[in-house]
Amino acid sequence: VLVEIVKLVQKRGLEGTQGGWKEFLKTYDKKFGASLSDPSKRSNDVLVSFLKTFTKDDDLELFSRVLQSHLNRNRVEQFSKQSRDNETPEQSLVRLTLEHPQYLIDYAFPIVDEGWIVIKPPKKSRALKSNVMIAVDCEMVLCDDGTEALVRVCAVDRDLQVKINELIKPNKAVADYRTEITGVAAGDLDGVTCSVADIQKSLKKLLSNGTILVGHGLHNDLQVLKIDHARVIDTSYIFKYLDAPIYRKPSLNNLCKSVLGYEVRKPGAAHNCLDDACAAMKLVLAKLERGEITLFPDVSQPEREKLLLHRIPVYVHREEISKVIPGAVAIEVKDSHGLPQKLVSFQFGDGSTASLYIRKMAQEDSHREVLSNKRAFEGEETLIESKKLKTDEKITKKVMDDNSQLDDHLKEIERLKQELQEKDAKIVLQDKMISNLLKKVEEMKKVLNKRK
Distance from C-alpha of 281 to C-alpha of 186, rounded to nearest angstrom: 29
| CATH number for 139 | 3.30.420.10
pLDDT, average across residues 372-378: 37
Asked whether residue 18 falls in the same domain as residue 125, the answer is: no
**pLDDT value at residue 166:** 96
Is 431 among the domain residues? yes
Instruction: Indicate the residue among 326, 341, 358 that finishes a domain.
Output: 358
| Strands 353-358 and 340-347, bridge-based pairing | antiparallel
Asked whether residue 140 falls in the same domain as residue 218, the answer is: yes
Q: 382 or 137: which carries more pLDDT confidence? A: 137
Is 60 among the domain residues? yes
Give the mean pLDDT of the chain.
78
**pLDDT value at residue 378:** 36
Phi, psi dihedral angles at 324 (to 5 degrees): -80, -40
Instruction: Indicate the residue among 244, 272, 295 that finishes a domain.
Output: 295
Structural domain including 281 reads 89-295
Kindly tell me if the per-residue pLDDT of 371 is higher than 60.
Answer: no
| Cα torsion through 100, 104, 105, 109, rounded to 10 | 130
Model pLDDT for residues 227-265, shown as the tens digit of each residue: 999 899 999 999 988 777 777 888 898 899 989 988 888
Distance from C-alpha of 441 to C-alpha of 435, rounded to nearest angstrom: 10
- Name the domain count of the chain: 3
Question: Does residue 164 come out as left (phi exceeding 0), alpha (psi in the -120 to 50 range) or beta?
Answer: beta
Instruction: Indicate the residue among 295, 321, 349 that finishes a domain.
Output: 295
Asked whether residue 181 falls in the same domain as residue 57, the answer is: no
pLDDT, average across residues 278-298: 86
Model pLDDT for residues 51-96, shown as the tens digit of each residue: 889 888 888 888 888 877 777 777 777 777 777 778 899 999 999 9
**pLDDT value at residue 173:** 92
pLDDT, average across residues 297-319: 61
Helix 381-451, helix 57-82: angle, nearest 10? 150
Which pLDDT band holds residue 333 (cuts at 50, 70, 90)?
low
Which pLDDT band holds residue 311 (cuts at 50, 70, 90)?
low
Is 409 among the domain residues? no
Kindly tell me if the per-residue pLDDT of 103 is higher than 80.
Answer: yes
Asked whether residue 222 falls in the same domain as residue 312, the answer is: no
**pLDDT value at residue 366:** 40
Lowest mean pLDDT among 55-59, 154-158, 162-166: 55-59
**pLDDT value at residue 321:** 67
Query: Which residues lie closer than 8 Å to 168 by C-beta, 6 or more apart?
Result: 149, 150, 151, 152, 153, 192, 194, 195, 196, 198, 199
At residue 343, the 3 state secondary structure works out as strand
**Of 139, 148, 131, nearest to 214 (Cα)?**
131
Distance from C-alpha of 450 to C-alpha of 190, rounded to nearest angstrom: 43
| Strands 162-167 and 232-234, bridge-based pairing | unpaired
Which pLDDT band holds residue 285 (cuts at 50, 70, 90)?
very high
- Cβ atoms 136, 157 nearer than 8 A: no
Asked whether residue 323 falls in the same domain as residue 234, the answer is: no
Asked whether residue 312 falls in the same domain as residue 225, the answer is: no
Task: Supply the DSSP string of 265-290, one letter for each residue.
Answer: S-TTPPP-HHHHHHHHHHHHHHHHHH
Kindly tell me if the per-residue pLDDT of 123 is higher than 80.
Answer: no
Model pLDDT for residues 165-217, shown as the tens digit of each residue: 999 999 889 999 998 888 899 999 999 999 999 999 999 999 988 899 999 99
Q: 40 or 357: which carries more pLDDT confidence? A: 40
Q: How many CA atoms lie within 13 A of 240 on its CB side?
A: 14
Lowest mean pLDDT among 40-49, 80-89, 270-279: 80-89
Q: 36 or 159: which carries more pLDDT confidence? A: 159
Distance from C-alpha of 218 to C-alpha of 283, rounded to nearest angstrom: 14
pLDDT, average across residues 376-397: 42
Kindly tell me if the per-residue pLDDT of 133 is higher than 90.
Answer: yes
Asked whether residue 261 falls in the same domain as residue 120, the answer is: yes
pLDDT, average across residues 139-163: 94
Which pLDDT band holds residue 332 (cuts at 50, 70, 90)?
low
Is 372 among the domain residues? no
Residues 6, 9, 13, 15: is their CA dihedral positive or negative?
negative
Asked whether residue 198 falls in the same domain as residue 62, the answer is: no
**pLDDT value at residue 35:** 84
Which pLDDT band holds residue 324 (cuts at 50, 70, 90)?
low
**pLDDT value at residue 189:** 92
- Cβ atoms 335, 357 nearer than 8 A: yes
> What percentage of the chain reaches a pLDDT higher than 90?
27
Asked whether residue 306 falls in the same domain as residue 290, the answer is: no
Is 227 among the domain residues? yes
Is 205 among the domain residues? yes
- DSSP state at residue 186: G
**pLDDT value at residue 431:** 67
